[in-house]
Structure formats: C-alpha cells, structure tokens
Amino acid sequence: MADIGVLGGDPQDREALSGLLGEMGHLAYEAGRLEEALEVSRERRPRAWLLVDGAGVDAETLARELRRAFPLLPVMVALKTRDARRAVGLMRVGAAEVVAPPWTPVELKASVSKTLRFQGTALSPLRVAPRRRSGLLFALAVGAFFAFALTQAASRRAEKARAAAAAVTHAWDLPVSHPAGLAFDGESVWVVDWFSQSLYAHSTKDAALGEVRHLTAETPVSAHFAGDSVWTIGADGTVARRMRDAKLTVLQRWPGVARNPAGIVFDGLYLWTLDGRARRLYKRLPDPDLTVAGVYRVPGVKPVGLAYDGKTLWTLDAADRSLRRHNLDRPDEAVELVPLSVYGDGKEVPTGLAFDGTRFWTSAEPRKGGGPARLRRHPEALR
Amino acid sequence: MSHRAPGLIPALVRFPGAAARQDAWGRLLELTAGGAVLSTAAPLAKGEDLTLSFELAGEELRAVPAKVLHAEPDADGQTLADLRFTDELSRRELSRRLLDALARRL
C-alpha cells in the first residue's frame, strides 16, 4: 500500500481516481490545485502523484512544477483524451506513466506498480541476443517453477528478514572520538576524524574498519569522493582536491577559501561547501579560483553535515536532529524535512552525513563526553 | 560498455496504416543498436511491424522501424516486447548515438 496524491481540477475525476486507487489498497490524497498538492507533498509525503490532464488542466505544467519542488517524487498522468503524442510529451517532461482513458483498475494498477518500481533504461551499443524460448527452455522453466515453489517460503522469510533489517537503524561504536564528517566512495563509508587527522574506511555491511588515510599536516573535517578525485576540507577552510591513492596525494589546494567548514560535496558540476556557523551553502565552480557561483542561506539551526544523493543536496542539522533536502537550483528552500528519531533523546550530537546510494549514514558524538562516538546506518525508508 | 539512463526512455509506437491501429506509447527498458525491450500497455504480437520514435541524449530518433520478436504479458498485465530494429541505416545511426551518449554518460 502506498500513499498517492491525486491532483485534478474536476472533483469527479479526482473522486473516480481516488476510488480506483482505494480499491487497489492505496491511500489517496486529493488536491484541486498545485498549491494544495505542494502542501500535501510536504505534510503527507505521498510516494507518487497522479495528475489529471485535460478539461482545462495542463498536466505538463503541473508535472514540471511538482518535479521542480520534489524532484524524486514520481508523477503519473491520467489522460482524459487518448493522445499518444501528448502521452510521450508528458513522459518526456517527467511523467513516470501515462494512463489512457477510460481509466480502469487494470490499467491504473499496472501504471502505479511500474511507477513505484522502475529504474532507468539500460543502454548498450551492442545488440543483445534475443531471448530464446525453445521447448527445452520451456521444460527448464517448468522445472525452475517447481524449484521456485519449493524455495518460495524460504525466500519470503529471507525477504522479510531483509526488509526488517532495512527498516532498522544500525549503530556501531567508532574507534575514534571526534568524527567531523562522513563520505562514501562507492564501497565504504569513510569517517573523517579531525582529532586524529585521519580518514577511516568502514564496511557498509558491518562497519568493520578497513583502510586508514592519515593527513598529518591538516585537520580534516569533511571529504567527498567524486570519480577519480577526493575533495577534502580542513578546519582552517582549506579545500584540497586529491588523487584516490594510498596517500591521498594533493592535486590542488585552495588555502582558507571556506570559512567555518562543515561539509563539502561535488555534484559533478559544482563544488558545494557548507559554512556551519553562518548557515550558508557556497556553490563553487571547480576552476583554479574555486569561483563562488552562488551563496544560499540554509534553513535550520545548526547545519553540520552535507551530502549529495545524485539529484539533490541534504544537510544534517545537529540542533533539531533532522535531515533537510535542498534542490540544486534553489538550495535555500528545504523541500523535505526528515527527523532523525534515533537522536531524539538528545544524548548524542550528530556530526557527519553521507549517502551510500540507498541509505543515509550519520556519525555522532556523546553530548557530555564519556562514551564512544557512533556510526549509524539509517533505514532505507528514511529517504 | 553499458549504462543505465536516469529514467526510462518514453517512446511513441506507431503501426503501419494497414494495421489500422491507434498510436500507442511505452517505455524502453533496454536499448541497443540492434533492438529494444519495450514495456507498453498496447497489446503486441510476435512478427508485428511498428515504428518507434524516441529521444536519446537530447536528439530525436523518428520512426525507427522495428519488428516484434517476442511479446508476453509482464507482471502487471501489460506487454513486454523484444523488438529488433529492421532498418540497417537506423541501426547504424542508433549505434553512433548510443556510443556518443554512453561516452557522455547521457
């Protein structure tokens, strides 16, 4: 079951679609206008939106606006008039699925299912061999079916266990006491510890400690892995671009360019640095001067961590113990707020944030000292 | 060399006039220079001819002729079809654009 928003100008259309979604077991939130839809998105956080196109309502504009505000939220469109070109045009502006009229439970169910499931097109210049479906293959398939039937119960149990594990926040004590930042290199989560002036790689499975990199001449507070490079930022505001080798050899260094550094990420085009004290995000060109292309005020009280999920920026706030999502084009507006309930008791202070492609990781120190610093892997559903 | 696009590429599906069928639309789950895997709500049959129009890395490919090698219902009751592009020139053009797109990672 998923929460799905239904946006359309005609109450009858909304009612019809909400009814169909309800029959499928989904919970529908209706909105008559874009403003209402944005409000519902903020308050209810639906998994997807279903827009009605036609009868004076331009779903293309609505889809653009919704995706601008919530880039990761899938949008479906229900056409009131069948038009294949229109459908393709809507998909090109971001509609995940377009449902043709008349709206039937079968069509709608398929579209919702695909919307909540699909990834991107797999591209390859080489032609893949067509799927062969010979008699032998059929016999093998029958055999496989029975094998599948025998193992289905075990698979379900395993899936339940995996889902249960994915919904749990895991925490591990760290061997260091002053983690200031986190970074993900594609395999491991790296803890940036300012006190020991080192970076520690931890396994994403069990947080087992792997490699260690010492930056003895600096006091690193944050790092970000981007392609063949590693960006680091020190307590004195020095930004460095490094090779991903055993010594993290410096390729270029910009002394003192970022004040009160709390985070650094590279989105593939711009380098973003976070000024934790002034609550400012700096958008920089990766040119010889790290030219500042924009400065944005970060909502919140005490931002201490910065991460990039491939589409949007996220900041970690140590004061209200929550994550905020920011669009790249308007990062001064938080488009989503995710409270981190594990820090609700206030005994620990979050210090660093990273995203591993599926889940967020945070580091934290005990508020009054005396205990170990911790590394946490948050549930998949958090994002 | 392969890559996964940020989203599923939408495609306009058209049929020859003799088929007297309405235009349809779908998503490309896989795309190579030789063919594609299409997910669509339109029912398709093995051996059926159609054309695909879609955009790749900002460039439009119009009416690429294709034949349905195999079609079967997918888990949602819609159609999952293996398509083979039948026009050699289109295949070469698609190959060039795919290599270009993959080199630029879209």
Size of interface A-B (CB pairs under 8 A): 117
Confidence of residue B6 (pLDDT cuts 50, 70, 90): low
**Cα atoms in the 13 Å half-sphere on the side-chain side of A66:** 35
What percent of chain B shows pLDDT beyond 70?
92
Residues of A in contact with B33 (CB under 8 A): 125-127
Instruction: Report CB contact under 8 Å: A121, B24.
Output: no
Global ipTM: 0.85
Instruction: Say what the pLDDT of residue A364 is.
Output: 94
Burial class (CB in 10 A: 0-12, 13-18, 19+), A5: buried
Read off the pLDDT of residues B69-99 as tens digits, 9 standing for 90 and up: 999 998 888 899 999 999 988 888 888 888 8
Instruction: Say what the pLDDT of residue A224 is.
Output: 94
- In terms of CA atoms, which chain B residue is nearest residue A106? B77
Instruction: Report CB contact under 8 Å: A128, B98.
Output: no
Q: Is the pLDDT of residue B102 over 90?
A: no
Nearest CA-CA partner of B95 in B7, B26, B27, B35? B35
List, in sequence order, the alpha helices (H) in A119-167.
135-166
Instruction: Report CB contact under 8 Å: B27, A124.
Output: no
How close is the nearest chain B Cα to the Cα of A107, in Å? Answer: 8
Contact with chain B for residue A110, Cβ under 8 A: yes
Residues of A in contact with B6 (CB under 8 A): 120
Burial class (CB in 10 A: 0-12, 13-18, 19+), A25: exposed
How close is the nearest chain B Cα to the Cα of A134, in Å? Answer: 12
In this prediction, residues B10-23 reach a mean pLDDT of: 86
Instruction: Say what the pLDDT of residue A42 is.
Output: 86
Q: Is the pLDDT of residue B106 over 60?
A: no
Instruction: Say what the pLDDT of residue A123 is.
Output: 67
* pLDDT by position in tens, chain A (length 383): 788 999 988 899 999 999 999 888 889 999 988 889 889 888 888 889 999 997 777 888 888 888 888 877 889 999 988 889 999 999 888 888 999 888 888 888 888 888 877 655 666 666 555 555 566 667 777 777 777 777 777 777 777 766 666 667 788 988 888 899 999 998 999 999 988 889 999 999 888 888 888 887 889 999 999 888 899 999 999 999 999 888 899 999 999 999 999 999 998 888 999 999 999 999 998 888 899 989 999 998 899 999 998 888 999 999 988 999 998 888 988 888 888 888 888 889 999 999 998 889 999 999 877 778 999 998 876 65
Instruction: Say what the pLDDT of residue A104 is.
Output: 85
Instruction: Say what the pLDDT of residue A247 is.
Output: 86
Instruction: Report CB contact under 8 Å: B8, A118.
Output: yes
Instruction: Report CB contact under 8 Å: A114, B39.
Output: yes
Q: Which of A96, A123, A125 sits opposite B5 (nearest CB)?
A: A123
How close is the nearest chain A Cα to the Cα of B48, in Å? Answer: 16
Query: Which residue of A86, A104, A123 to mutate against B (max B Cβ within 10 Å)?
Result: A123
Does the model's pTM come out above 0.80? no
- Which carries the bigger pLDDT value, residue B13 or residue A206? B13
Residues of B in contact with A132 (CB under 8 A): none
Instruction: Report CB contact under 8 Å: B28, A131.
Output: no
Q: Which of B24, B39, B55 sits opposite A92 (nearest CB)?
A: B55
CA angle A277, A278, A281 (to 5 degrees): 110
Residues in Cβ contact with B100 at an 8 Å cutoff, skipping those fewer than 6 apart: B57
Distance between CA A366 and CA A374 in Å, rounded? Answer: 8
Instruction: Say what the pLDDT of residue B98 is.
Output: 86
- In terms of CA atoms, which chain B residue is nearest residue A100? B41
Instruction: Report CB contact under 8 Å: A92, B10.
Output: yes
DSSP A249: -
Instruction: Report CB contact under 8 Å: B95, A125.
Output: yes
